[in-house]
Structure 1
Amino acid sequence: MGYQNIVFPKGATFLVTGAAGFVGSNLVEAILKLGYKVRGLDNFSTGKKENVEEFLHNSNFEFIFGDICDFDICLKACKGIDYVLHQAAWGSVPRSIEMPLLYEEINIKGSLNMMEASRQNAVKKFIYASSSSVYGDEPNLPKKEGREGDLLSPYALTKMVDEEYGKLYSKLYGLDTYGLRYFNVYGRRQNPDGVYAAVIPKFIKQLLSNEQPVINGDGRQSRDFTYIENVIEANLKACNASREAAGQAYNIAYGGREYLIDIYHQLCKALDKDIQPKFSDERVGDIKHSNADISKAKELLGYSPSWNFEKGIEAAIKWYILHL
């Protein structure tokens, strides 16, 4: 269970793009703890400098300040790298609806730059972040790979295009690519600030500040909230996956289903707060329900998530209490 016993060849080197972001910084930390060398790439457009500062004294860590939209930077970052964990992207469905051109530039062109740079540098494995948003309006639960609906946002489209490029790069060029469809990841270092902040850290910060949180919709929407440790495991197990498993996308979640209003009351109880939320309009582009079938990732990647929602939310709350 987990990833602590995963072994890579001696001297293995990893590149984490978006290294100063939520998922990226947690990947950097985990790989360094396993004793391997990590190069981080970020331009701090959404990531935070403080997320990588603690690693700068580690002789196994190298940081490059740069943009994935700059192909020369991508080539430099991939030089001498065995495994690329490509997390750099702009998230948020609502923001993508407001800024489709920017999402095209960063999430599609930037990802293609990274795949091409990986190919030219003979990288062994290219693991990249996709999203559950690619399921669009497909109503059936649980969500299963190969059964997608109409896309609902530019963000979802960028992730679907990344998957298609990943498929092509495996087929045409022999670059082993693995797309990880994250389902509502949460945990330490996730940014609680701003209008586009993820709901769990945002609620926690507002409750700790005795503010009244806003719930979009009626709160009866459901999500497969996935603790960061499960996502780290998926990335590292994909690095060890077979070539036969390449060129495909995989659901990465716990396989559970939580209703937003229930989570809100759970957070209130854990933080000893009695604050009624405000309800607002549903957000454009949001799906109503999300729950993942993770059998494919279990079978082909050896993915075996050990952090359920209860265990993960307890750890997340403790971290935010210490760091907010």
Structure 2
Amino acid sequence: MTTAKQGKALDLDGSRILIAGAASLVGSHTADRLLEAGVKEVVLLDNFAFGTPEAIAHLKDNPRVRIVRGDLMRLHELIAATEGMDGVLHLAAYMTLGFSQTPWEAVDVNVRGAQNMLEACRVNKVKKVVFASSNAVYGYGTGIVGALAEGGPFHSTGAPPAAILYGASKIMGEQLCRQYHQKYGQDYLVLRYSTVYGERQHYRAANALYIMETYDRVRRGERPVLPGDGKDTKHFVNVADVARANVAAFRSAATDVAMNISGPEPVTTGELVQLVLDYCGSTLEPEIKPDPPGTVRLTSGGAFHIPHDLAGEVIGWKPQVSMKEGIRRLLAWREAQEARAR
């Protein structure tokens, strides 16, 4: 699934787009971008089990925005919500922490929920689906090196079960998209996000959570904690870049292909902690302290990178926000939120 076919580009000017899982980091930023692109209506669908009204509070009075409470497990609600839609961005899913805490529900939502959304799109002849996948489709574990390019294998050695379950659920979601394309001609694109971070950050993503935990410790005057030697590779992509990729995917004529949406470069845990320390103007020395048993922390045993060349070829996208700039934006937003709360 690395060669794009030609479908039809979606003219966003005057179109109607539904975002499933909209009350979220990616959903809210993508809604902003779609409105800038001139869409007629953005429907924000969420059951608010994980999404928060605060994430989309700035949109609720926009006359081109409609907020709909709906659940992926109720097909009739999805059919009603997608009626008249030109495009659907499917973000709604359990993440790795959810698979650790409530695996049965997570499997249902990520697999049956994705199938329900595709069925609703088939019924209502939605022109294009953009499915939010993850670099978790390559798996996790020790000894991963080199490029994790589209079409690569799945790794699982030494990884937590929750991480593997999450990755497997995204593989199934991708293949459901592919099946609906083959059987019904449903145009779709799969975007495999690296760990997304940025303003309106939530506390549900295992790796993005580490940024916030580190910041919280440093602000309290406590030494930041390194779960290992600081050389574990992490892959982040800023939410502003992800929102641009989502919009570019709708505008692209390509279909039936998956592509990586990754940041400009990988970062090690040690480098990440140092960026937070630099932002805070702190000279605290990191403390090496292994995570307690059962902690869901996604690490790698070697240096690898996630190329995004295919996204450049297929949808004309590449990341623009460096890790240093992204951390600055995120933590400045966090401080502004705290100041408003006071």
Q: CA deviation at 1:25?
A: 1.2
* Structure 2 CA distance for partners of 1:24 and 1:84, relative to 1, 3 Å: same
Name the counterpart of 2:109. Answer: 106
Q: Does 1:128 align with 2:131?
A: yes
Residues 43-62 of structure 1 aligned to structure 2 (within 5 Å): 43-62=47-66
Residue segments in structure 2 that go unaligned for 5+ positions in a row = 1-8
Residues 97-246 of structure 1 aligned to structure 2 (within 5 Å): 97-136=100-139, 137=141, 139-151=144-156, 152=159, 153-192=164-203, 198-242=209-253, 245-246=254-255
Name the counterpart of 1:254. Answer: 263
> Quick check: 2:147–2:305 contact (8 Å CA) kept in 1?
yes
Residue type of the alignment partner of 2:337? H
- C-alpha offsets along residues 283-303 of structure 1, whole Å, 9 cap, x if unaligned? 567340552111111111111
Name the counterpart of 2:46. Answer: 42
Q: Does 1:301 align with 2:295?
A: no
SS at 2:146's partner residue? Answer: coil
Residue type of the alignment partner of 1:169? Y
2:103 and 2:236 map into 1 onto residues whose CA distance is 26
2:123 and 2:251 map into 1 onto residues whose CA distance is 21
1:65 and 1:12 map into 2 onto residues whose CA distance is 21
> Quick check: 1:14–1:38 contact (8 Å CA) kept in 2?
yes
Name the counterpart of 2:298. Answer: 286
* Structure 2 CA distance for partners of 1:161 and 1:254, relative to 1, 3 Å: same
Residue type of the alignment partner of 1:29? D
Residue type of the alignment partner of 1:221? D
1:225 and 1:73 map into 2 onto residues whose CA distance is 33
1:194 and 1:178 map into 2 onto residues whose CA distance is 23
2:249 and 2:138 map into 1 onto residues whose CA distance is 21
Match of 1:24 among 23, 27, 33: 27
Q: CA deviation at 1:274?
A: 3.5
> Quick check: 2:21–2:92 contact (8 Å CA) kept in 1?
yes
Comparing 305-314 and 201-210, the one that deviates more: 201-210
Q: CA deviation at 1:208?
A: 2.9
> Quick check: 1:27–1:232 contact (8 Å CA) kept in 2?
yes
> Quick check: 1:103–1:154 contact (8 Å CA) kept in 2?
no
2:107 and 2:82 map into 1 onto residues whose CA distance is 22
Residue type of the alignment partner of 2:298? D
* Structure 2 CA distance for partners of 1:296 and 1:43, relative to 1, 3 Å: same
Residue type of the alignment partner of 1:286? L
Residue type of the alignment partner of 2:26? V
* Structure 2 CA distance for partners of 1:127 and 1:9, relative to 1, 3 Å: closer
Name the counterpart of 1:3. Answer: none
> Quick check: 2:10–2:250 contact (8 Å CA) kept in 1?
no
Q: CA deviation at 1:275?
A: 3.5
Match of 1:15 among 14, 18, 38: 18
Match of 1:319 among 333, 337, 341: 333
TM-score (ref. length: structure 2): 0.85
Residue type of the alignment partner of 1:102? E
* Structure 2 CA distance for partners of 1:58 and 1:290, relative to 1, 3 Å: farther
Residue segments in structure 1 that go unaligned for 5+ positions in a row = 1-5
* Structure 2 CA distance for partners of 1:67 and 1:217, relative to 1, 3 Å: farther
Name the counterpart of 1:272. Answer: 281
Comparing 41-50 and 287-296, the one that deviates more: 287-296
SS at 1:54's partner residue? Answer: helix
2:80 and 2:215 map into 1 onto residues whose CA distance is 39
2:14 and 2:239 map into 1 onto residues whose CA distance is 26
